[in-house]
Amino acid sequence: MKYYYGFEYASGKRTTTGQPHPLTGRLSIAGNLVVFTNKANRNEWVLNGEITSDMQGNCRESVNQAHVRDLMLGDSINEMNEYIANIVDLLVD
């Protein structure tokens, strides 16, 4: 099954969270990843996001799987995959 991803930033695109990755020292971006099975539902979710002054735009955006990795650099690849698998069980659709 194909999944479509959306990300809602907590407080701007450069706000980080969590512990640094033990090897790289990089942090994850603060926010929530949401997974959809339908592209139209994902796009509607993105469009219904709040317009924030600190982000100068929508706090939600559509992301692809490669971009998800860029958002979760504080986690190992295995941790990221486990996180995605857990939220797939809680699909918004």
Q: Is 21 left (phi over 0), alpha (psi -120 to 50) or beta?
A: beta
pLDDT, position 42:
93
pLDDT, position 14:
84
pLDDT, position 50:
76
Report domain extents, the chain: 4-88
d(CA 43, CA 14): 23
Instruction: Read off the tokens for 79.
Output: 């941790």
Ordered mean pLDDT values, 10 residues apiece, the chain (93 residues): 90 87 92 92 89 67 92 93 87 56
pLDDT, position 11:
81
Which pTM was predicted?
0.84
pLDDT, position 56:
61
